[in-house]
């Protein structure tokens, strides 16, 4: 799951009414979020946002997620001839999803680089790790491990179920003396957590070069240096590393496609944590991994999403 988040638009021509961009919003049933997100990313290479319905509890108290309600998937397209073509392509593609409501509205000059911050609070992951937005003052309790991130940068801030599930799994798996592979690192939050939990060497990969840069920046901001090696690209069968622990928070098809490679790069007796997976798809992923010698140890769920912990024989 590596959805980029679109930053404040800059240097774009205005339409006659002053609009710079158009905000495209897809009101999406939870079960279709992954498919709709992929479709919107295909026309919005700058990134999308996935917004689950939440109740804000306060500036330092985080939020609670309202389950079972439609999710907002947003993209931003330029108010130009190219933007009009992309919007039309999106509308055509969305015809396959009649349950999704698609709307568009113009975006004018405004300081939205700050206004969106009210929607992000402190994230408790259920383990020792707590994620704190950079602008929030928050007292960390004894025994907690703080990661400071800017949720406007890249996917993987802990505000999505899959990231929280992975962080909870890492709480018991990341430790001194192991090597870890982080596939689809996004913001780098899982690598940062693993390093702070004691893992001395982590290799992080993301298909998006921008995400790789952001992950490095976030590592630096959290005092994580050479213990995390970050690169842009895809995990290939000829990857030289061998790992005690791997974590892959990407998607069901991508995880399944990499099953054979995981069978090579994870050491015998090693663990792998897979997420970005809808709970209904878990059996298929487990079966693909079983064919590569992995045994299912646990499946944890939050709303429609799940995290699968397996061990290689």
Sign of CA dihedral 275, 131, 50, 185: negative
pLDDT of residue 76: 83
Token pair 């990231």: residue: 163
Q: Tell me: the pLDDT tens digits for 55-104? A: 666 544 556 677 778 999 998 887 777 777 888 888 899 999 999 999 98
pLDDT of residue 225: 95
Count of CB atoms within 10 A of residue 112's CB?
Answer: 15
Token pair 């940068």: residue: 153
Domains of the chain and any CATH numbers: 21-117 (3.30.70.120), 121-312 (3.40.50.150)
Q: Tell me: the pLDDT tens digits for 148-197? A: 887 544 456 666 788 889 999 999 999 999 999 999 998 899 999 999 99
């Amino acid at each position: 799951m590596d959805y980029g988040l679109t930053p404040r638009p800059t240097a774009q021509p205005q339409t006659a009414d002053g609009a710079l961009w158009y905000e495209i919003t897809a009101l999406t049933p939870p079960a279709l979020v992954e498919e709709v997100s992929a479709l919107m990313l295909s026309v919005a290479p700058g990134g999308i946002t996935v917004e689950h319905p939440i109740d804000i509890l306060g500036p330092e108290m985080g939020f609670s997620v309202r389950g079972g309600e439609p999710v907002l998937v947003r993209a931003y397209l330029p108010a130009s001839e190219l933007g009009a073509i992309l919007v039309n392509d999106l509308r055509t593609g969305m015809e396959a999803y009649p349950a999704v409501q698609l709307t568009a509205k113009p975006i004018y000059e405004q300081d939205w680089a700050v206004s969106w911050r009210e929607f992000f609070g402190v994230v408790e992951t259920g383990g020792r790790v707590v994620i704190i937005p950079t602008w929030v003052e928050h007292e960390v309790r004894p025994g907690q491990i703080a990661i400071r991130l800017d949720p406007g940068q890249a996917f993987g801030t802990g505000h999505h179920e899959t990231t929280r599930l992975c962080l909870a799994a890492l709480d018991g798996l990341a430790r001194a003396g192991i090597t870890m592979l982080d596939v689809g690192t996004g913001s780098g939050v899982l690598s940062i957590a693993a390093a702070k939990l004691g893992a001395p060497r982590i290799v992080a990969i993301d298909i998006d070069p921008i995400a790789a840069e952001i992950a490095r920046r976030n590592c630096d901001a959290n005092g994580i240096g050479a213990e995390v090696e970050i690169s842009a690209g895809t995990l290939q069968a000829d990857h030289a590393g061998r790992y005690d622990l791997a974590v892959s928070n990407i998607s069901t098809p991508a995880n399944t496609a990499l099953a054979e490679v995981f069978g090579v790069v994870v050491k015998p007796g090693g663990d792998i944590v897979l997420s970005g997976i809808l709970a209904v798809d878990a059996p298929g992923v487990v079966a693909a991994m079983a064919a590569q010698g992995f045994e299912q140890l646990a499946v944890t769920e939050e709303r429609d999403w799940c995290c699968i912990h397996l061990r290689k024989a």
